[in-house]
Amino acid sequence: NGILHVEDVSVVELVEKLGTPLYITSRSKLEANLKAYKDAFPEAGLLYAVKANNNISIMRIIARKGFGADVFSGGELYMAMLAGFKPETILFNGNSKSDDEIRMGVKTGVKFSVDSLDELYTISEIALEEGKDVEMAFRINPEIDPKTHPKIATGLKTSKFGIPWGRVLDAYRIALELPNIVPIGIHCHIGSQITELSPFVEALNRLFDVAVKLEEMGIEVKFLDLGGGLGIDYEGKGAPTPKDFANIILPVFEKRSKELRSKPELWLEPGRSIVGDTTILLTRVNAVKRSYKNFVAVDAGFNLLIRPAMYGAYHRVAVANKMDKPAEDVYTIVGPICESGDILAEDRKLPKVEKGDLIVIFDTGAYGFVMSSQYNGRPRCAEVLVDGSRWYVIRERESYYDLIGRQMIPDFLL
């Protein structure tokens, strides 16, 4: 009847009970995405990139499907453990780990992706103090253009991430000499939202080039971690699937593995391609204003979805309570934040939009709520998980109290 549903649940009924804005995730879509990766890479180590979406309920579904976790901070490690990821399947990534975070990782027993020699020395010192050996890989900078947005290209020569390509072997020689350090792998990550697969092949060949040299140094290479970054179809123009990815990557992996005495596993770190298209953001129209453009002012802005403002990212939109109506005009969807850049969708053909309508923003499961803020004094919204005809609140809506709950007033201001 023209009403958008997530699985068997009407979004109109949801907002009547829970209000807007509202993130809504489909369990069936999430599990289908997980199965697609398992089917495409049955023998690979699949580590979910927690940075994409760190909701504990969503991560528990992922962990229970046999995935490991790629974490980027002590906080992500803490949440990954709560979600049920096993320590031996967690890789602690990151270019600027604090000493406390390193100690947490050493005590937990996770593997480390090491980004610098300073970090390596610190891990060795802490591991020695704790009486534990640390299995690690260096994150290398392969100096590859992933052909994506510059702000999410992480394998360029100019990137802050990884050991420079020309210094990788020296770094492994140092690692071999340090106490309580056990080098067992090689790691790279070239970027995010990558839809052209050839850069992944180039990166994988770089990893094998290093692996051959490491074996000559006496290192048994147990894994080659290609990172994540597979893009999704935000614009309706198509994007490679995990199967497409496997068809390109696995033949190269199998061919070049023959060059090694070691039998390394292929590791991948999917994030966006696991959760991105599982979720919508629902937002209510507060006002429609005819000005330079037809502006539709809604109650969600870049405080809840920063991708359009930060990257110029495109998300499909629709009027969730008028899905059966034809497009009548062109509208620009804007949020309530006091910044001119608070634009969620520009120049979209939509049915007639009126105050009170519900705008749906698609494909918001990755880098959506996880990058949200309380800017302009706006409490963050609720999250809901839909399972068939049932739904569950998996994050409560914040209140005004949450804006000030951790603040302290000095005595002289009482």
Q: What is the pLDDT of residues 208-260, one digit of tens each?
A: 999 999 999 999 999 999 999 999 999 999 999 999 999 999 999 999 999 99
SS3 per residue for the chain: CCCCEECCEEHHHHHHHHCCCEEEEEHHHHHHHHHHHHHHCCCCEEEEEHHHCCCHHHHHHHHHCCCEEEECCHHHHHHHHHHCCCHHHEEECCCCCCHHHHHHHHHHCCEEEECCHHHHHHHHHHHHHHCCCEEEEEEEECCCCCCCCHHHECCCCCCCCCEEHHHHHHHHHHHHHCCCEEEEEEECCCECCECCCHHHHHHHHHHHHHHHHHHHCCCCCCEEECCCCECCCCCCCCCCCHHHHHHHHHHHHHHHHCCCCCCCEEEECCCHHHHHHHEEEEEEEEEEEECCCEEEEECCCCCCCCHHHHHCCCCCEEECCCCCCCCCEEEEEECCCCCCCCEEEEEEEECCCCCCCEEEECCCCCCCHHHCCCHHHCCCCEEEEEECCEEEEEECCCCHHHHHCCCCCCHHHC
Give the chain's mean pLDDT. 95
Q: What is the pLDDT of residue 152?
A: 44
Q: What is the pLDDT of residue 145?
A: 63
Q: What is the pLDDT of residue 157?
A: 60
Share of the chain above pLDDT 90, in %: 91
Q: What is the pLDDT of residue 41?
A: 98
Q: Rounded to two decimals, what is the model's pTM?
A: 0.95
Q: What is the pLDDT of residues 57-82, one digit of tens each?
A: 999 999 999 999 999 999 999 999 99
Q: What are the structure tokens assigned to 173, written together? A: 């020689």
- Contact (Cβ atoms closer than 8 angstroms) between residue 355 and residue 345: no
- Contact (Cβ atoms closer than 8 angstroms) between residue 223 and residue 182: no
| pLDDT higher than threshold 80 for residue 168 | yes
Q: What is the pLDDT of residue 164?
A: 86
Q: What is the pLDDT of residue 166?
A: 85
194 versus 22: the higher-pLDDT residue is 22
| pLDDT higher than threshold 60 for residue 190 | yes
Measured distance CA(230)–CA(366) in Å, rounded: 12
Q: What are the structure tokens assigned to 374, written together? A: 């309380």
- Contact (Cβ atoms closer than 8 angstroms) between residue 62 and residue 37: no
Residue of 338, 408, 409, 413 marked active site? 338
Mean pLDDT computed over 100-117:
97
- Contact (Cβ atoms closer than 8 angstroms) between residue 109 and residue 132: yes
Other beta carbons within 10 Å of 169: 15
Measured distance CA(414)–CA(410) in Å, rounded: 7
Q: What is the pLDDT of residue 150?
A: 54
Mean pLDDT computed over 121-146:
91
Mean pLDDT computed over 258-266:
95
Quick check: is 381 catalytic? Answer: no
Q: What is the pLDDT of residue 165?
A: 82
Q: What is the pLDDT of residue 161?
A: 80
Q: What is the pLDDT of residues 308-350, one digit of tens each?
A: 999 999 999 999 999 999 999 999 999 999 999 999 999 999 9
With bands split at pLDDT 50, 70 and 90, how would you rate the model's confidence at 404? very high
Q: What is the pLDDT of residues 377-400, one digit of tens each?
A: 999 999 999 999 999 999 999 999
With bands split at pLDDT 50, 70 and 90, how would you rate the model's confidence at 162? confident
Which residue is it, tokens 């090491």? 114
Other beta carbons within 10 Å of 193: 23
Q: What is the pLDDT of residue 156?
A: 54
Phi, psi of 214 (to 5 degrees): -65, -35
Share of the chain above pLDDT 70, in %: 97
Q: What is the pLDDT of residues 7-54, one digit of tens each?
A: 999 999 999 999 999 999 999 999 999 999 999 999 999 999 999 999
Separation of CA 28 from chain center:
19
